[in-house]
Amino acid sequence: RTQGLAREKREVWVDRSRDHDEHAQGNGRRAAHGGESRVDTGQTRCASRERTPSFPPLSTLSSSKQDRKTTTTIFFFGGGCLFVFLCLLRLRRRPPSLGSPTDLFVACSWSHWAFSLRSSRLVCVWMIDPDVQTTIVAVAYDGGVVLGADSRVSTGTYVSNRASNKITSLCDKVFLCRSGSAAHTEAISDYVRFYTSQHASEIGQGKEPTVKSVASILKQMSYSNKGLMAAMIVAGYDKKMGGQVFGSPIGGTMVEMPWAIEGSGSTYIWSFFDDEYKEGMSREETERLVLEGIAHAMARDGSSGGLVRLVTVDKDGAKSQVFQGKDVPMILGDMAEPKSNAATVVW
């Protein structure tokens, strides 16, 4: 269409130039017959041709169109290469079903889709992160604090780890209970432990970081990274304030409270802790409360299970306990372990 319009304009200007030349020649003939001086039609023709605008040839127009096509192709090709490069940067892990390591693998972690070129076929896989869909509890008592957690880690409906330790030490007397994405919570705990050690070296020897200062470091990291799937509890003991519990749900909020629960199993035990918790509880009563609360969550929540780990922190330090099998309290509706019988045949 552009070439046709240019051709039409060019023909119009050529016709106008021809008419002007013919008019100038006619005036010259009439002047010669009338005895007047003859007009130089050659000069007039040259002047009219100089006033005639010139247009670029059609080949130039077609070449500029080809340049635009080339520029568009380069633009989209560069954008595609940039997208693939960003996908490779955000590559986190390879699902076990994608075949050999020689396969071309590109993962978009923000959308949880993975693409693999295997045997000349493009395979699309939904990536599922290991999530700590769990039950974590922390309760403060006179003289310390008790932290508890189950040990089941699930990847979708698959139990990827049945004996995980979800209670992480941040310093000697401050611990972290983790729930949410296993990768996110482990990364946060590593960073908080590093910054806590730096803080301890700054305040001098013989002094320990307070529970509130460690919780503030965790809050700053969680609040500055809103995309993290991490619901955590910071609890510990210091000489200034004694046993303290800080809850940090998803989003980075930090709230101090006498007891805190998080995770998928916490939905089933809110009323239990509302009813059973009392101020001024002893160490043994607090440990029993945490153990029974986690047992109730494990009986109702499919994402909670395995062992029950407790960590008690007081002025003397931290003490860890593990409850499994018969040590976990029986809840109404659970099937009791069958009693051993000499007549029982084990295949």
Active site residues: 134
Phi, psi of 114 (to 5 degrees): -125, 145
Q: Is the C-alpha dihedral spanning 329, 335, 337, 341 positive or negative?
A: positive
Cβ-based burial of 220 (10 A; exposed 0-12, middle 13-18, buried ≥19): middle
Query: Strands 144-150 and 136-141: what pairing?
Result: antiparallel
Cβ-based burial of 109 (10 A; exposed 0-12, middle 13-18, buried ≥19): middle
Q: Is residue 243 helix, strand or coil? A: strand
Q: Which residues contact 317 (CB under 8 A, 6 or more apart)?
A: 172, 173
Could you tell me which residues are beta bridge partners of residue 153?
161
Query: What is the side-by-side order of every strand in the sheet holding 136-141?
Result: 259-262, 136-141, 144-150, 308-314, 317-323
- The C-alpha atoms of residue 100 and residue 117 are separated, in whole angstroms, by 11
Q: Which of 254, 255, 284 has the alpha carbon at shortest distance from 143? A: 284
Q: Within a 10 A sphere around the Cβ of 62, how many other Cβ atoms?
A: 12
Q: Which amino acid is at 17?
A: S
H or E element, residue 110: none
